[in-house]
Chain A
Amino acid sequence: MQTVQSDFILVSDRRADASFLIHHYLSFYLRAGCKVCFLGLVQSFSHYSAVGQRLGVSLAQAREKGQLVFLEGLKESFGVLLQDTSQETQPLSYLRSPGAGLEGLFRFVESCVRQSGDGNAGESWGPPVLLIDDLSVLLSLGVSVGAILDFTLYCQATVCSELQGNMVILVRCEEEDADDDEEGSNLLQRGLVHQCNLALHVEGLPTGYCRDIHGQMEVWWRQRGETIYNQRKIFHFKVHDKGASFFARGTSSAVL
Chain B
Amino acid sequence: MAAPVRGMIGSTSIGNTTSFQKKTRSKLVSIPGTRPSVQNGQLLVSSGVSSLDYVIGGGLAVGTLLLVEEDHYDSYSRMLLKYFLAEGVVCGHELFLASARDHPDDIMQELPSPIVDDVAGMKISEGQSQPSDPENPDTMKIAWRYQNQPKVQTALASSVRFGHYYDVSKTMEPELRQAAKCHSFYQLQETPVVTASSPLPSPYHSLLKSIQTVIRKEGFDGSTPQSKVRNVLRLGLHSLGSVLWGDDVCCKDNPAHCHALTTFLYILRGLLRTSLSVAMVTVPSHLTQNRAVMGRIIRLSDTAIALESFKGSEKETNPLYKDYHGLLHVRQLPRLNCLSCEVPDTKDLAFKLKRKQFTIEVSSHQPLSALSPQHTPNSHPIALRVHSYGTSPNPNEQRGVKTPPRLLTSAVSALKTHSTVDTADQRVGCNENDTD
Interface residues of A (CB under 8 A from B): 17, 19-20, 23, 44, 46-47, 50-51, 54, 73-78, 81-82, 84, 86, 95-98, 137, 139-142, 172, 174-175, 177, 180-181, 184-185, 209, 211, 214, 239-244
Contact with A along B46-84 (1 / 0, CB 8 A): 000000000000000000000000000000000000000
* A51→B339 contact, CB < 8 A: yes
* A241→B271 contact, CB < 8 A: no
Q: CA A127 – CA B200 in complex, angstroms?
A: 40
* B263→A141 contact, CB < 8 A: yes
Residues on the A chain within 8 Å of B262, using CB: 140-141
Looking at A23, A74, A139, A175, the one whose CB has the most chain B CB atoms below 10 A away is: A74
Any chain A CB within 8 A of the CB of B198?
yes
Residues on the B chain within 8 Å of A241, using CB: 338-340
Q: Assuming A81-B200, A98-B259, A177-B292, is B266 touching A140 (CB within 8 A)? A: yes
Closest 8 A-B residue pairs measured CB to CB? A50-B337, A74-B270, A140-B262, A142-B259, A174-B295, A77-B270, A239-B340, A44-B273
Given contacts A19-B335, A95-B267, A239-B339, 11 further A-B pairs with CB under 8 A are A20-B340, A44-B273, A50-B337, A73-B270, A75-B270, A81-B208, A137-B266, A141-B199, A177-B291, A214-B340, A242-B339
Q: CA A184 – CA B263 in complex, angstroms?
A: 16
Which residues of B240-262 have CB atoms within 8 Å of chain A's CB atoms? 254, 259, 262
Size bracket of the B interface: 35 or more
Residues on the A chain within 8 Å of B146, using CB: none
Residues on the B chain within 8 Å of A97, using CB: 197, 199
Closest Cβ of chain A: how far from B363's Cβ, in Å?
15
* A172→B299 contact, CB < 8 A: yes
Residues on the B chain within 8 Å of A51, using CB: 337-339
Residues on the A chain within 8 Å of B290, using CB: 181
Within 8 Å by CB of A174, from B266, B296, B337, B390, lies B296
Can you list 23 A-B contacts with CB-CB less than 8 angstroms, sorted by A residue number? A17-B335, A47-B336, A54-B338, A73-B270, A78-B267, A78-B271, A82-B209, A86-B197, A96-B197, A96-B199, A97-B199, A98-B259, A140-B259, A140-B266, A141-B263, A142-B263, A174-B296, A175-B291, A177-B292, A181-B292, A211-B390, A239-B339, A244-B339
Q: CA A123 – CA B290 in complex, angstroms?
A: 51
Looking at B199, B343, B390, the one whose CB has the most chain A CB atoms below 10 A away is: B199
Any chain A CB within 8 A of the CB of B300?
yes
* B337→A23 contact, CB < 8 A: no
Residues on the A chain within 8 Å of B263, using CB: 95, 140-142
Closest Cβ of chain A: how far from B310's Cβ, in Å?
23
Residues on the B chain within 8 Å of A19, using CB: 335
Q: CA A242 – CA B339 in complex, angstroms?
A: 7
Closest Cβ of chain B: how far from A216's Cβ, in Å?
16
